[in-house]
Structure 1
Amino acid sequence: MNLAASNFIFLMTLGLPHAIFIFYWKFTYTDSDCRADLFLARSSRGLAICLTCLLSCFQCVTLASSSVRWLYFKIRLQKYLTPVIVFLSLLSLTSSLNAALYPVAYYNATDNHSFSLGYCFVLYPTRFLFQAIGFITFSRDLVFVILMALASTYILLILHRHRKQMKGKRSSERKQEATAEQQASKTIVTLVVLYVFFFGLDNSIWFYQIAVGEAFKEITDIRHYLSFCFPTIFPVIILLFNQKLQNKIGPCVKTQLSHLQAVSSIQ
């Protein structure tokens, strides 16, 4: 739920204004609007990375060995899950404070330590500050992406080992052994693979921009498009893999369709 909320905020604060601007719909932003919008966008994006990493690490610990050490770690992680989420939220907010300092609504020129969103501009006082903030953000994202990739790789190894153990059993027994933890693991691995792909490309472009010191609008548009892909695909993946949601949503959809058919027949 927290991951879905952070993805939704990101799409509403950066995806929606960007789409409106691309399609030439005119709207007016003030400096305060730009700062609030970009601060929420950066914070929600950072929180989405942190929570995806937490999700993969939590599932990795859940499937890990049942030794005393791992059992203790599982209990502690479940007990302090809410404080961990709060800590990650605060980390995302504090590490994105720079997004509330430099955005402006109007700017006539461009230089090598600023970048344009079209409807807002982010002006850093110096090129050093532009590159320093960029490298710090890049390093933060890279740490979490590496952690989630390692956790997902370990989950895949566990699933592969379990699959080899299940080869000698009948298909009916295999279905019984297809536990909720395994289904959740497949969902999380799928999410992480997509996340690493899209945000890996996004961060690679961002690294190029801060290394070169130039943020061309066309390259920025491509980077933003890549960053919008995962929040857009995220709910589709959840619906495809979550049988409980399908069982709840399916009857509602059928009821609505039958109601529409009844109304249309009456008309």
Structure 2
Amino acid sequence: MISNDTVLGLLFLCQTVFGALGNSFLLGLYITTFLIGTKLRPIDLLISHLAFVNDLVLLSKGVPQTMAAFGLNNFLDDVGCQLVFYFHRVARGISLCTTCLLSSIQTITLSPRSSRWAEVKARITKCIVSFCFLCWTFHLPIYYIILLNVKGPIRVKNITERNNLIYCSAPIGISFNVALHIFVFSLPDILCVGIMVGTSGYMIFVLYRHHQKVQYIHGNDLTSSSNPEIRATQTILLLVSMFVSFYSLNTILTLFMQFEKPASWLVHVNVFLAACFPVCSPFVLIVSDSQVLKYSLALWDRIKLPVQ
């Protein structure tokens, strides 16, 4: 009979492998497409950046969690635990920032085609690289607090002042200074989530108006909904709704674990939720974004050309 730990290990292994393959495929496709000279959309840079960050999220959490589920609990020391948790939180924050940028840029793309909005659209698409760099510059220093609190696994059972996070440990409860630090630097995350909710509401409104207009002009013939801009908007809406849902649940559990000593199953559930968006997002893009198929076919034709 297969033990629960083995089932968990296989679950985390499959989740990590499939997610890493999906994100690596997208990242490799966009890089190769750019190198062969094909013109990319402005949001393609953000999608490739999101794929890279999602890979980092999965590898920094999925690999050690898989090893721990298979019974290898003492493979990291204090420095290893600090680095794993640090890069996971940084990548998670940058993933939030990048998804927020995707939502915002698509909202501007859907905005009325006046000269004022056209100027804003042209400026913001030119600043995508700067925005990505700013995300890294902001998130790298603010999570230094993790380096001070996360330690290696608990090896003595009668220690009660620290949470046992399977392969690492963290203090139960947080001091006033740390709580203030977390509150202050959580404000950008709250702001990003608020922006995503607001832009998503606007995009839903625009799509609804488009649907009503198409129905009025064409009756039941909704073929114009296959417009690439509309499909891209629907894809980003799906990504945003997924991110907000998984991020909210994961944040609630993480805060709960700061004040209560969690059971091992709750730790596993929290890690699983944290990895759901990085795993699902590349496959949503591969299936929903017609541009991915276009790039793939162009690359395949380029590969076959020398053979012929």
Please name the residue that 1:196 is paired with: 244
CA–CA separation in structure 2 for the residues paired with 1:144 and 1:159: 22
Other-structure match for 2:50: 3
1:31 matched to 2:81? The reply is no
Instruction: State the SS of the aligned residue for 1:28.
Output: coil
Output aligned runs, 1:170-185, within 5 Å.
170=218, 174-176=222-224, 178-185=226-233
Q: State the shift of 1:129 in Å.
A: 3.9
Structure 2 match to 1:110? 160
CA RMSD in angstroms, aligned pairs only: 2.8
What is the count of residue pairs matched by the alignment? 249
**What is the match of residue 15 of structure 1?**
62
Deviation of 1:101 after TM superposition, in Å, equals 2.6
* Contact 2:74 2:153 (C-alpha < 8 Å) held by counterparts: no
Looking at structure 2, the residues matched to 223 and 125 of structure 1 have their Cα atoms a distance apart, in angstroms, of 18
For 1:150, the equivalent position in structure 2 comes to 198
Instruction: Name the aligned partner's letter for residue 216 of structure 1.
Output: P
TM alignment of 1:60-75, pairs within 5 A:
60-75=107-122
Question: In structure 2, what is the Cα distance between the partners aligned to 1:68 and 1:250?
Answer: 35
Structure-2 change in CA distance of 1:116 and 1:131 (3 Å):
farther
Normalised to the residue count of structure 1, the TM-score between the two structures is 0.82
Q: Aligned letter for 1:57? A: S
1:103–1:208 distance in 2 versus 1, CA, 3 Å: closer
Corresponding position of 1:214: 260
Percentage identity across paired residues of the two chains: 23
Distance (whole Å) between structure 2 residues aligned to residue 245 and residue 196 of structure 1: 24
Q: Which segment drifts farther, 26-35 or 14-23?
A: 26-35
Paired residue type of 2:260: E
Which region of structure 1 is more displaced relative to structure 2, 70-79 or 55-64? 70-79
Counterpart CA distance in 2 for 1:199 and 1:239 is 22
- Tell me how far 1:116 sits from its aligned partner: 3.0
Who is 2:148 aligned against? Answer: 101
Q: Which amino acid aligns with 1:30?
A: D
Change (3 A) 1:132 1:214: farther
Quote the Cα distance in structure 2 between the aligned partners of 1:163 and 1:171: 10
With normalisation by structure 2, the TM-score equals 0.72
Q: Which amino acid aligns with 1:202?
A: N
Match in the other structure for 2:286 = 239
2:163 partner SS: strand
1:264 maps to none
